[in-house]
Amino acid sequence: MLAQEMTSEVVASSGWFLEHAWVIPIIPAVAFVLIIFFGKKLPMKGSELGVFSMLASLVFAGGAAWQWIQRVNSVVDVAHEAVAEGAHHAAPFVAPVIQEWTWWQSGGFHFGIGQHIDGLALTLLVVVAFISSLVQIYSLEYLRGDRRYTHFFAALTLFSAGMLCMVLAPNMVQLILGWEIMGLCSFMLIGHWWEEEANSRAALKAFFTVRVGDMGLLIGTAILFFSANSWTQENLGVSGFNISGLSAWAMSGEASSSALTWGAVALFIACIGKSGQFPLHTWLPDAMAGPTPVSSLLHSSTMVVAGVFLVARVYPVFWEGMKIGDTNINFIVLIGGITIVIAALLAFVQHDIKKVLAYSTVSQLGYMMMGLGAGAWLPAVFHIFTHAFFKACLFLSAGSVSHSGSHHSFDMKKDMGGLAKKMPITATTWIISTLALAGVFPLAGFFSKDEIIDNVGYGGYNAFMIVGLSGAFLTAAYMTRATYLTFFGKARGAAAGEHHDEHDAHADAHDSHDAHAAHDAHDSHDAHGADHGPHESPKLITVPLMILAALALVAGLSNATPFGESWERFKKYVEPSAEYVAIESHMATGPGEAIIVPQQNTTAEGGESKYDEGCAVVAPEAGMACYFPTVKHAPFKWSKAALSLIIVAFGLISSWMFCVQYYTRRNKRLVGLTERSKVLRGGYTFLWNKYYLDALYEKVIVRSIAHPIAAAAAWVNQNILDGIVNGVGKVSRRVAGWVYRNIDQRVVDGAVNGSGAAARGTGGALRPVQSGKVNQYGALLFAAAAIGALILVIINT
């Protein structure tokens, strides 16, 4: 009790950056407008505005993160004193900094806009601002001389604004706003070189596929709003869109479980679309048609994690809705697990270096989803953090290779090989990131991916732990293959200096001369470089690479579980507390302060057995609320880590040996194996055609929806209407024939004329239905409405 009195007096520290975090997305949004209107007149064609705005956002996000750390410390230190007195062990509740203003209202509904700053939001804010800054700097060189240079930077800046807006959304409406801005910008950026038809098709495919999922977002938000609104209004004084309100509602034990389940399923469908999960992952590899910086920013480290972020953001809804707490297989973990394996397998048969990375991204997103689905919240979020660095680095390295090494080709088999000597910096950063991605100790991927696998197993999902381990093996193997093909072995095609024929043939193959011109403009700057063959990229490209590679080396240390609790800083500052919180202390008081910063409050007398009680297990009493479920954390064991390290090492070495044998020595037993063995050939064809999912979507599903509507209309016309008319005619003609043959010719004329008249009469009677006359359609409409109403009246009385 003493501890409670003490802690209730603690006022969590705050700060200017924390209170004004909403400025972060405003900066790039303003920059976007400026670039669009004035960009072309500026000395650097508007790119300086983009870079500057992202750097400013980064500074603000960094400041906010620093103050958040102060804030957590200010609460935790007091709590530690309490721990010393033996009061409780659970992490104390650090209130998020929430501010919300009315954006617009309609009827009785108020839609807010503002900020919801906690560890998760800040992690993403810093990552997004950081990666965006580096990518924009990289693009200064990569897109130099591009014909839509200014527009590219405008779209990139708006994209960052959308992502930042989504990340700090305090309610679902703002989240949807940011989500959709990102969708629009990804369309613009993937189709940046839209003169080539393949690019615009890829842009459309990405847009439509994601939109299929977006329906889920709208439906899920609506379901949750209508079931949560009255509870949140009554208990917290916020609307049912509010994210912390939704979390508290989901954990309150008073929520309808079917509403939670269906809301969670609908929201997860949106995540499947956005985060490229099976079976809607097909758009992501195609999206590689965009410029490489776009792939690096959107389709590896920021936009595609939006789905993962959404699950992490309203985690209590998924936790309760999907019953993550018990160890039954749920929707999220299942989709995540499937995605890991199928995407990793696909990465083996790609020739395009960026597509290998794209499938790798899909597979890694599968890890994050699987982690979230199995209750491993923190490792999944940590994996977002580390993955952003090394995957962005890999993509930018691939861009660097194509920019300076392979003459704008991304084909590993044709135009690369042996580049390690010619591009040492690019090769080094690539290899560091590859090892980080594979999860080699002590690089970033080890600490996050291994934690996911470990926690999935600890959470009781043993089958999925095996999936995770095999995924780790596959990751190591396909990345080794890509590394070998790109940087080692014999130089081929453009990498060996024979570029122009290849490129021209390639460009001429497309009808669009504009595209060719665009690429020529794009190429002009390194005409001399092309003459000299592959060379290292300029500083604007290599410096971001080095920064990212350095982070890929050390980022994992920010939550190095193996080294003890004092190394788990990420956990301390990011993971929300599963404490019961008194509601009264932070009821709404007015606009701009939807939830005021509450006092830190703890009542749980948690002992050692903290997983047996707490928010996930026992619903909060009246007047208390939970904002996060009690998640388990697997204790680190070197034996388990050693197992996965051995698997990874096995993947790296076996794949390396295979590559040497296959690609360089052309080992007779291996080369052509897919032609000789039926099983292998079948498997290869199956993979090469991407499990036939595209064919399924385009040929079967689209056709089965678009075709039947047309076909049904035609069929009704042909068979029913015409059929009736013709049938009547035929029958009458037969009758006429029968009459003609049987009753001789005495009544022939009369009978034939009669049957003809019958046929014409029937046809004429049915014909007006399809007259094309507005009045008759209107009559049918109103009559149908009246009859419908009549039926309703009869049913209801």
| Positions in the binding site for other proteins (CB under 8 A) | 104-108, 767-768, 770-776, 778-779, 782-783, 785-787, 789-790, 793, 797
465 closest CA partner among 312, 343, 562, 336: 336
Comparison of 2 and 793: residue with beta carbon closer to other proteins: 793
Comparison of 498 and 722: residue with beta carbon closer to other proteins: 722
Q: Please state the closest distance from residue 687 (CB atom) to other proteins, in A.
A: 50
Comparison of 328 and 770: residue with beta carbon closer to other proteins: 770
Q: How many other C-beta atoms lie within 10 A of the C-beta of residue 396? A: 34
Comparison of 37 and 782: residue with beta carbon closer to other proteins: 782
Q: Please state the closest distance from residue 591 (CB atom) to other proteins, in A.
A: 15
Q: Please count the helices (runs of H) and the strands (runs of E) in the chain.
A: 34, 4
Q: Are 64 and 117 in contact (CB under 8 A)?
A: yes
How does 258-292 read in b/e, with b if 16+ C-beta sit within 10 Å? ebbbbbbbbbbbbbbbbbbbbebbbbbbbbbbbbb
Q: What tokens appear for 590 in the block? A: 């007015």
Q: Please state the closest distance from residue 721 (CB atom) to other proteins, in A.
A: 11
Q: What tokens appear for 738 in the block? A: 């029968």
Q: At what angle do helices 197-235 and 257-274 cross, to 10 degrees?
A: 160
Q: Please state the closest distance from residue 242 (CB atom) to other proteins, in A.
A: 20
Residues whose CB falls within 8 Å of the CB of residue 29, separated by 6 or more in sequence, listed in order: 158, 161, 165
Give the C-alpha separation, 65 to 58, whole Å: 10
538 — phi, psi (to 5°)? -65, 175
Q: Please state the closest distance from residue 222 (CB atom) to other proteins, in A.
A: 17
DSSP states of 468-493: HHHHHHHHHHHHHHHHHHHHSS---G
Running DSSP on this structure, what letter comes out for residue 538? P
Give the C-alpha separation, 106 to 689, whole Å: 49
Comparison of 15 and 763: residue with beta carbon closer to other proteins: 763
The DSSP element (H or E) to which 122 belongs, if any, is helix 119-142
Comparison of 460 and 763: residue with beta carbon closer to other proteins: 763
Q: Please state the closest distance from residue 229 (CB atom) to other proteins, in A.
A: 16
Comparison of 80 and 767: residue with beta carbon closer to other proteins: 767
Comparison of 145 and 788: residue with beta carbon closer to other proteins: 788
Peptide bond into 285 cis (omega under 30): no
* Three-state SS sequence of 558-614: HECHHHCHHHEHHHHHHCCCCCEEECHHHCCCECCECCCCCCCCCCCCCCCCCCCCC
Give the C-alpha separation, 593 to 402, whole Å: 51
Comparison of 743 and 792: residue with beta carbon closer to other proteins: 792
Q: Please state the closest distance from residue 102 (CB atom) to other proteins, in A.
A: 11
Q: Please state the closest distance from residue 285 (CB atom) to other proteins, in A.
A: 40
Give the C-alpha separation, 335 to 317, whole Å: 18
Residues whose CB falls within 8 Å of the CB of residue 147, separated by 6 or more in sequence, listed in order: 517, 518, 521
Comparison of 84 and 793: residue with beta carbon closer to other proteins: 793
Q: Please state the closest distance from residue 176 (CB atom) to other proteins, in A.
A: 16
Q: Are 347 and 687 in contact (CB under 8 A)?
A: no
Residues whose CB falls within 8 Å of the CB of residue 282, separated by 6 or more in sequence, listed in order: 205, 209, 690, 693, 694, 697
Residues whose CB falls within 8 Å of the CB of residue 218, separated by 6 or more in sequence, listed in order: 176
Q: Please state the closest distance from residue 791 (CB atom) to other proteins, in A.
A: 10
Comparison of 761 and 778: residue with beta carbon closer to other proteins: 778
Q: What tokens appear for 310 in the block? A: 């959404």
- Estimate the share of the chain in helix, then strand, then coil, as percent rounded to the nearest 5: 70, 5, 25
Comparison of 43 and 772: residue with beta carbon closer to other proteins: 772
Comparison of 709 and 786: residue with beta carbon closer to other proteins: 786
Q: Are 461 and 334 in contact (CB under 8 A)?
A: no
Q: Please state the closest distance from residue 763 (CB atom) to other proteins, in A.
A: 11
Comparison of 107 and 635: residue with beta carbon closer to other proteins: 107
Q: Please state the closest distance from residue 793 (CB atom) to other proteins, in A.
A: 6
Q: Please state the closest distance from residue 592 (CB atom) to other proteins, in A.
A: 19
Comparison of 517 and 792: residue with beta carbon closer to other proteins: 792
Q: Are 40 and 48 in contact (CB under 8 A)?
A: no
Q: Please state the closest distance from residue 108 (CB atom) to other proteins, in A.
A: 6
Q: Please state the closest distance from residue 780 (CB atom) to other proteins, in A.
A: 9
∠ CA 580-581-587, rounded to 5°: 150
∠ CA 130-61-22, rounded to 5°: 125
Q: Please state the closest distance from residue 109 (CB atom) to other proteins, in A.
A: 9
The radius of gyration computed from the CA coordinates of the chain, to the nearest angstrom, equals 31
Comparison of 86 and 772: residue with beta carbon closer to other proteins: 772
Peptide bond into 620 cis (omega under 30): no
Q: At what angle do helices 444-458 and 462-487 cross, to 10 degrees?
A: 160
DSSP states of 193-243: TTTSHHHHHHHHHHHHHHHHHHHHHHHHHHHHHHHHHHHHHHHTSS-TTBH
Comparison of 463 and 789: residue with beta carbon closer to other proteins: 789
> What sections of 236-352 are H helices per DSSP?
243-251, 257-274, 283-286, 292-296, 305-313, 315-321, 331-347
Comparison of 617 and 787: residue with beta carbon closer to other proteins: 787
Q: Please state the closest distance from residue 768 (CB atom) to other proteins, in A.
A: 6
Q: Please state the closest distance from residue 796 (CB atom) to other proteins, in A.
A: 10
